[in-house]
Structure 1
Amino acid sequence: MIEDLQIDGTIRPGFEEVREEFETNFRERGDVGASLAVYVRGELVVDLWGGIADPATGRPWERGTVGLVYSATKGATAVLVNCLAEQGVLDPDAPVSRYWPEFAAEGKDRITVAQLLSHQAGLPVPSEPLTRDELLAGTPVVEVLARQKPMWEPGSAHGYHALTFGWLVGELVSRATGRSLGTVFADEIAGPLGLDFWIGLPADRVGSVAPLIDGVPDPNALDAITDPDVKERALKVVAAMSDPSSMFSRALSTNGALPTPHAETWNAPSVYAAELPAANGITNARSLARLYAACVGEVDGRRVLSEAALARARVEQVRGPDGVTIGESRFGIGFQLSTQAAPLLGEGSFGHAGAGGALGFGDVGSEVGFGYVQNQLGASLTGEPRTAAVIDALRRALA
C-alpha cells in the first residue's frame, strides 16, 4: 500500500465508484502506479492517474506517464489490421502467402489472414534457437517462422501465439503496405487520433516510461481457490510455468530468450525501441480508451472502424481449450472476446489484456472505450482483481 496516495485527474458525475475502486487498487490490491480511463459515447468520463511511476527514484505517475502493456498491444495491432482490411489493403479471407509468398512453405499456403490473427496457424514458438538480439531485430525470427512446419494442422485448433503473433502480423503488414507495422500504426491510427501509443518507442520518450515491477506470487493462492475446475486449471498453469520445456513456457518466453512477463528484460531501452506488435506497445490508459472509443463510435469527429468493419472483426473465429495457455480462450480477428473467466462488460466487448494487468477494450452496446495501464505486474492465477473491480463499478455506473 502507498502512503500519502495522490490520485489526479477527473471524473464525470455518476462515476464516483469507479474512482473509489481505482483508489482501492492502491490501498488493498497492490498497485504502485497506474492510470485508468473510460470513454462513453465519445466523451472522456474517467481520466485518472496516481501513485509512483518509478520506485527507484520516487518519480510520481503523472498525466503523461506511459507504460509497457504487453499483450494489450495485440488489441492495437488488431485495430490496425482490421482498418487495413476495411481499406482493401488486406483481405481477412485471403491466404497470408498472397502478401508474403515465402510463408507458403511446409504446407502453410492455405493459412488465411483471419486464421493468423486468431492463433490458428500452429506457429506459437520458433522451431530454431534465436538470441534476444535476433528476436528484437525481427527479420531472423520472421525468416524462421516462414520456413518452419506448423506444430498442428492450421485451422484444426488454436493456441495462443504470445510473441510470435507480433512478428507474423508485423511481416504481413509490412509486405502489404511497404512500411513497418509500427510506422503504419503511427501514421494511420495513433497520429490521427492524437494517441500517446507507440509500437517501437522513440528515444526521446524513454524518460516518460514507468518501469515494470515484477509480481510476487501469493504462496497461499492455490489454497484459496474453492472452485474445483478453477483449481484444476490453476494447478496445470503452475506446472506449465515451472516446466521450461512446456509449450506454455516456450511460447511465453520464445524458448527462453525473451521471458514474459519479466521486468528486467522488458525495461530495457532496446526492447522499448524494437517493434514487437504482440507485446511491447507503450501507452497510457487515456490513449487505450480513446483507441477503442474510436472503434465503437466517433471521438472528436474521427472513427477508425465502421460499424460493418467492427462487426466483421468481432465474429468469433475460435472458442474453446487453448493449446498453449491451457484454459478457454475466444478470439475474433485479432481481438479477445468476452468469456466466462474474463467477461469484460459483456457479449458486446472486444479488446485485449496484457500479462500482469494492462487492459484495453471496447463495448458496442454501451459505446465504451476502456483503458488501464500499471507498472506493478500482477501474479494472480484466477484473473486480474484490479481491473475486475473497476469494471464491476463501471457496469453499475452505466446501469
Structure 2
Amino acid sequence: MRDLFKRIVAAGPGGAALAVHRDGELVVDEWAGDWSRDDVVNVFSVGKGVVAALAHRHLTGLDRPVREWWPEFSTDCTVADLLSHRAGLPAVRRDLPDGALFDWTAMTEALAAEHPWWPPGERHGYHAVTFGWLVGEVLRRATGRTVRELVRDLGIDGLSVGLAANTPVRDVLPPESHGPLPRLSATELTVKAFANPAEQLTPGLPNTARWRAAEIPAANVHAHARALATLYGELLTSPKLAEMIEPRSEGHDEVLGSETRFGLGFMLANPTRPFSPNPRAFGHSGSGGALAFADPDEGFAFAFTPSRTLLTPAGPDPRWPALIEALYR
C-alpha cells in the first residue's frame, strides 16, 4: 500500500499524506512528493466529519429543537436535522455582502433568520458551507467555546480549524478537471449554496492568509492524514457509534441533484462518493480529493490528504480506488 501510494503521488505535481489507524495503533503514516512529515493542508469538507465528532462529544439529545440552545433560531428543526442535512438551510437567499464569509456573527444571524428552502425533516440537501456555522453555533452556545477551541481541546496534533501561526502548510494547487464535470441543476438553491457569499468563488482563496485565519468549519479545517486517521480511530470506540452511523438521509439530494447518504453528521458510502465497499463506512470526502473515513466492521480508519486537487464528477477521486482496494485486501 505504501509503494502504491508513492506511485500515485509521483504521477502528478504536489504531494500528499496517507495514514491508516487500526486497533488503537497508527499502522501507516506516509507522505510523498512535495511534502514533509508534519505538513498540513486544507481538507475542505472533510472538516464536516470533524464538526460532527464534536457534536457527538459535547451534545446530548440531538433530536431536541435547535431553539433550546439557540433561541433566536427561526427554523423549526432539530440538531439531528442540521447534522443530517435535513434542515432546509443550505443557503441564504439574499445576497450577502463582501466580508460575510469571514464573519461568524453575520453568517449565523443570517441563517437564524432564513426561511428554510423545504420543510425541515422532509427532504435532504447538502449544506456545503452552512453546515459548519449551523452546527458550530449550537456547539458554541452549548459549551461556551468556539469550534476552533473545541478542536484544539481534542489534543490531536495536526488538526485545526483555520491555521495556527507557524504551522507548516502546503498550498492547495489549482484544481484540475478529471473527466467531464457534473452539470448541477442551475437552480437558485444550488447557486446560492455554492456562491453566496460570492467570496467562496475567489480563485486561490484557500491559500490566502484571510482564509487560513478564518473559522469556516465546513470548509477550512486543516489537517495531516495521521491526525484524521487518529480521530476516526477514536470514533470507532465511541459508545455513540451506532447513533452516528444510522442512516438519516438517503436518496435524492436537493442541492447536488444526485444520490447521497448521511448519518448524523457523517457522509456514508454512497453513489456520488463511493469511498468504501461497506455501506456502514462513515466519514467525509472533501473538494479536490481529500478523504477520511472509518469502517466499523473492519476496525480501521483511513485518511488521504493531497495538495493536488482534482475536480471529478460523481464517483470516487481517481486516486482512491487502488488505495482502498489495497486497504481492504
Q: When the two structures are superposed, what TM-score results if normalisation uses the length of structure 2?
A: 0.94
1:213 aligns with 2:145: no
CA contact (8 A) 1:211 1:263 kept: no
- How far apart are residue 339 of structure 1 and its match? 2.0
1:179 aligns with 2:145: yes
Partner of 1:334: 265
Partner of 2:2: 19
- How far apart are residue 249 of structure 1 and its match? 3.4
1:256-271 correspondence to structure 2 within 5 Å: 256-259=198-201, 264-271=204-211
Match of 2:158 among 181, 186, 196: 196
Match of 1:39 among 14, 21, 27: 21
**Residue type at the aligned position of 2:325:** D
1:145-160 correspondence to structure 2 within 5 Å: 145-160=111-126
Partner of 2:224: 284
CA contact (8 A) 2:184 2:190 kept: no
Partner of 2:196: 254
CA RMSD of superposed structures (Å): 1.7
CA contact (8 A) 1:127 1:144 kept: no
Structure 1 residues 367, 174: closer, same or farther in 2, change over 3 A? Answer: same
Q: SS state of the match for residue 8, structure 2? A: helix
1:383 aligns with 2:323: no
Partner of 1:322: 253
Structure 1 residues 388, 252: closer, same or farther in 2, change over 3 A? Answer: farther
CA contact (8 A) 2:100 2:197 kept: no
What CA distance in whole angstroms lies between the structure 2 residues aligned with 1:367 and 1:116? 28
Partner of 1:362: 294
1:13-162 correspondence to structure 2 within 5 Å: 18-28=1-11, 30=12, 32-52=14-34, 61-85=35-59, 90-103=60-73, 105=74, 108-109=75-76, 111-162=77-128
**Residue type at the aligned position of 1:378:** L
What CA distance in whole angstroms lies between the structure 2 residues aligned with 1:378 and 1:157? 29
CA contact (8 A) 2:10 2:33 kept: no
**Residue type at the aligned position of 1:21:** L
Gaps of 5+ in 1: 1-17, 53-60, 223-233, 298-304
**Residue type at the aligned position of 1:81:** A
- How far apart are residue 50 of structure 1 and its match? 1.2
What CA distance in whole angstroms lies between the structure 2 residues aligned with 1:373 and 1:214? 15
Partner of 1:293: 233
Structure 1 residues 156, 239: closer, same or farther in 2, change over 3 A? Answer: closer
**Residue type at the aligned position of 1:374:** P
- How far apart are residue 27 of structure 1 and its match? 3.8
- How far apart are residue 263 of structure 1 and its match? 5.6
What CA distance in whole angstroms lies between the structure 2 residues aligned with 1:102 and 1:133? 23
What CA distance in whole angstroms lies between the structure 2 residues aligned with 1:277 and 1:320? 25
What CA distance in whole angstroms lies between the structure 2 residues aligned with 1:251 and 1:285? 28
What CA distance in whole angstroms lies between the structure 2 residues aligned with 1:198 and 1:391? 26
- How far apart are residue 195 of structure 1 and its match? 2.5
What CA distance in whole angstroms lies between the structure 1 residues aligned with 2:121 and 2:258? 18
Computing the radius of gyration from Cα coordinates, the structure with the larger value is 1
CA contact (8 A) 2:287 2:311 kept: no
Q: SS state of the match for residue 258, structure 1? A: helix
CA contact (8 A) 1:128 1:144 kept: no
1:167 aligns with 2:133: yes
What CA distance in whole angstroms lies between the structure 2 residues aligned with 1:140 and 1:71? 21
40-49 vs 249-258, which deviates more? 249-258
Q: When the two structures are superposed, what TM-score results if normalisation uses the length of structure 1?
A: 0.78
Structure 1 residues 325, 371: closer, same or farther in 2, change over 3 A? Answer: same
What CA distance in whole angstroms lies between the structure 2 residues aligned with 1:71 and 1:373? 12
Structure 1 residues 247, 144: closer, same or farther in 2, change over 3 A? Answer: same
Structure 1 residues 217, 369: closer, same or farther in 2, change over 3 A? Answer: same
Report Cα offsets for 1:32-51 as digits up to 9, x if no partner.
21000001111211111011
Report Cα offsets for 1:244-274 as digits up to 9, x if no partner.
x653333123342212xx6611111111111
Gaps of 5+ in 2: none
Q: SS state of the match for residue 292, structure 2? A: strand
**Residue type at the aligned position of 1:210:** R
CA contact (8 A) 1:130 1:257 kept: no
Runs of 4+ aligned structure 1 residues displaced above 4 Å come to: none
Partner of 1:6: none
**Residue type at the aligned position of 2:15:** G
- How far apart are residue 351 of structure 1 and its match? 0.5
**Residue type at the aligned position of 1:211:** D
Structure 1 residues 171, 366: closer, same or farther in 2, change over 3 A? Answer: same
Match of 2:212 among 263, 267, 272: 272
> 1 or 2, which has the higher helix percentage?
1
- How far apart are residue 170 of structure 1 and its match? 1.1
Partner of 1:393: 326
CA contact (8 A) 2:18 2:305 kept: yes
Q: SS state of the match for residue 72, structure 2? A: helix
